């Protein structure tokens, strides 16, 4: 028997991995991606510059912010991985474990914990979720007890009173609430809108009140239930939602309380108090300070742009940045906001535009290799730019909608919970592969969450912007006095909406 020298390698196993980009249609020649977990999206300018350097050295100067507040690099070579991991270890970052590529229900890990991106600085924040996020992230990182779960597990924590973390699509979501004179969390559980069984599910409110000091134990007990009782016979049935669907909420709560050794208080108040995505420039809870949320529409950044943003965060803020769950980036603790806005314009980042720039997102379908152009992130930019030319920004903002685009039916960019969701499908036309998208309308999250309905299927990618324009023109003509696009969509039949997508006189 011969032992291979692997000490340098073993220090990374269980904390670092690279994922695979190389599906047949991938035009980018990227073999692997690196998904850097940035817990809660908290990152300093120095860390951001170092990640930019990794992108420049190993990833062709390209990076993308994901909808779980990670940073993803592509074109990563396996042979460079240890050097990259060493830098990441210095920065205090790890990666997703990419265990879902194994066949069978195994090697599931806890994914990056999504947190309200303005935790600790948002005015009127109910509760700062950062301490809970940090404690949980530290606990799960490299923890062998949680590396072989039936499948991945997703947590979110929102302390601001809004659903800026998309609680409904997480396995367990903590949402800060007030109960009488107490502050704590209520919970939603079992969310996942991917195709795995029993199909797309929005997380359900559990009607409980969790004291901040109990939240960590509740999170760990829940993920242990997933690990110990989740289905290991079938990968398709291995997400937490399957267990919850089969057990029912009552049984789950009984098992949870038994593990905790205490009964959780009930909570029947509202889960969400407001609707915000923290867009634009907002005053912080710290007097005279602002945060500046920079819309990226798809989350893509060059390494040079990353360095510019890091430098501006140093110059005009405290050097603190936050990645948002909508693929945007925030500079914190800014006093001279107008000067910062001017400087941002100079380096190519504009905050002028509709809210769609902050609320719309697309997946990395060009790297995924299951689609052809137009890819999801291209579609987002194209539609938003087109709509801003056709309509006043105020009208678009009034309609209060988001556009989520996934390149394939996997729903990676949560297309089924946006007011306008686009789910990619490859079609063949005259023997040629073409990209089409199914149009879903009426989805939404936060107050009164709903899954969107499929209204029209296999729409060619280049027709989408016109379809959306037609819908909006019909909405503006036919809406009730105070009616959002979602409400409008949900009071019309599929046939009616199909006609609204087809012409301005639908």
Partner 1 sequence: MEKKFNLQKIGEKRYSLDARGLVCPYPQLLTMRALGSLSSDDVLEVILDNPPSVRDIPPALRAKGYEVSETERVEKGTWKIVVQTKK
Q: Which two tokens stand for residue 432?
A: 């040629």
Tell me the CA distances in angstroms from 485 to 142, 219, 364, 452, 471, one per residue in order.
44, 36, 27, 12, 9
Q: Which two tokens stand for residue 118?
A: 């303005």
Q: Select 28 or 311, whichever has its Cβ closest to partner 1.
A: 28
Residues that bind partner 1 (CB under 8 A): 1-6, 9-10, 13-14, 17-20, 22, 31-32, 78-79, 81-82, 97-99, 101-104, 107, 142, 144, 147
Q: Select 6 or 481, whichever has its Cβ closest to partner 1.
A: 6
Give the number of other Cβ atoms within 10 Å of residue 317's Cβ.
23
Q: Select 3 or 430, whichever has its Cβ closest to partner 1.
A: 3
Give min distance, CB of 138 to partner 1, in A.
17
Give min distance, CB of 69 to partner 1, in A.
21
Give min distance, CB of 164 to partner 1, in A.
31
Integer Cα distance of 178 and 271 in angstroms: 10
DSSP annotation of 21 reads -
Q: Select 1 or 482, whichever has its Cβ closest to partner 1.
A: 1
Q: Which two tokens stand for residue 446?
A: 């936060």
Integer Cα distance of 392 and 52 in angstroms: 36
What is residue 460's three-state secondary structure? strand
Give min distance, CB of 286 to partner 1, in A.
42
Q: Select 10 or 250, whichever has its Cβ closest to partner 1.
A: 10
Give min distance, CB of 18 to partner 1, in A.
5
Give min distance, CB of 10 to partner 1, in A.
5
- DSSP-H helix ranges across 6-80: 7-10, 45-58
Integer Cα distance of 9 and 81 in angstroms: 10
Give min distance, CB of 20 to partner 1, in A.
4
Q: Select 2 or 430, whichever has its Cβ closest to partner 1.
A: 2
Question: Nearest to residue 144, comparing CAs of 240, 38, 19, 13?
Answer: 13
Integer Cα distance of 359 and 297 in angstroms: 8
Q: Is cis: bond before 505, omega within 30 of 0?
A: no
Integer Cα distance of 345 and 208 in angstroms: 46
Integer Cα distance of 83 and 72 in angstroms: 17
Q: Select 18 or 206, whichever has its Cβ closest to partner 1.
A: 18
Give min distance, CB of 82 to partner 1, in A.
7
Place of tokens 């005259």: 430
Give min distance, CB of 5 to partner 1, in A.
7
Q: Select 340 or 412, whichever has its Cβ closest to partner 1.
A: 412
Q: Select 144 or 431, whichever has its Cβ closest to partner 1.
A: 144
Question: At 183, which helix (H) or strand (E)?
Answer: strand 182-189
Integer Cα distance of 72 and 87 in angstroms: 15
């Amino acid at each position: 028997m011969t032992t291979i020298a692997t000490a340098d390698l073993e220090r990374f196993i269980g904390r670092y991995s690279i994922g695979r980009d190389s599906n047949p249609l991938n035009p980018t020649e990227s073999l692997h991606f690196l998904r850097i977990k940035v817990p809660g999206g908290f990152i300093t300018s120095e860390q951001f510059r170092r990640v930019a350097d990794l992108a420049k050295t190993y990833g062709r100067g390209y990076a993308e912010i994901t909808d779980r507040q990670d940073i993803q690099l592509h074109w990563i070579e396996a042979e460079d991985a240890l050097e990259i991991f060493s830098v990441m270890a210095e920065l205090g970052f790890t990666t997703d474990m990419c265990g879902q590529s194994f066949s069978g229900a195994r090697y599931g890990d806890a994914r990056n914990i999504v947190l309200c991106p303005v935790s600790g600085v948002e005015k009127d924040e109910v509760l700062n979720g950062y301490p809970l996020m940090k404690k949980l992230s530290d606990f799960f990182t490299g923890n062998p007890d949680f590396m072989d779960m039936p499948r991945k597990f997703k947590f979110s924590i929102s302390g601001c009173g809004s659903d800026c973390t998309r609680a409904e699509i997480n396995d367990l979501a903590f949402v800060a609430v007030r109960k009488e004179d107490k502050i704590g969390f209520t919970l939603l559980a079992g969310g996942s809108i991917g195709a795995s069984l029993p199909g797309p599910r929005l997380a359900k409110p559990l009607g409980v009140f969790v004291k901040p000091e109990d939240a960590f134990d509740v999170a760990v007990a829940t993920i242990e239930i997933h690990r110990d009782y989740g289905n290991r016979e079938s990968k398709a049935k291995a997400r937490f939602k399957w267990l919850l669907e089969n057990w029912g909420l009552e049984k789950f709560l009984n098992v949870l309380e038994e593990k905790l050794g205490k009964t959780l208080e009930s909570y029947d108040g509202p889960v969400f108090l407001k609707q915000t995505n923290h867009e634009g420039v907002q005053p912080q809870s710290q007097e005279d300070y602002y945060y500046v949320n920079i819309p990226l529409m798809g989350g893509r950044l060059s390494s040079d742009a990353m360095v510019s943003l890091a430098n501006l965060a140093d110059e005009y803020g405290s050097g603190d940045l936050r990645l948002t769950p909508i693929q945007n980036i925030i500079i914190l603790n800014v006093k001279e906001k107008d000067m910062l806005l001017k400087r941002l314009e100079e380096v190519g980042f504009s905050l002028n535009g509709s809210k769609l720039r902050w609320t719309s997102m697309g997946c990395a379908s060009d790297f995924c290799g299951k689609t052809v152009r137009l890819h999801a992130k291209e579609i987002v930019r194209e539609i938003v730019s087109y709509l801003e030319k056709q309509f006043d920004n105020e009208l678009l903002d009034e309609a209060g909608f988001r556009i989520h685009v996934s390149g394939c039916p996997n729903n990676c960019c949560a297309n089924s919970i946006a007011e306008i969701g686009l789910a990619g499908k490859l079609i063949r036309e005259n023997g040629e592969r073409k990209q089409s998208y199914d149009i879903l309308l009426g989805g939404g999250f936060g107050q009164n969450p709903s899954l969107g309905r499929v209204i029209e299927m296999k729409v060619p990618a280049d027709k989408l912007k016109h379809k959306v324009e037609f819908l909006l023109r019909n909405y503006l003509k036919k809406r009730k006095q105070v009616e959002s696009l979602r409400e409008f969509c949900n009071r019309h039949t599929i046939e009616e909406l199909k006609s609204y997508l087809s012409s301005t006189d639908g």
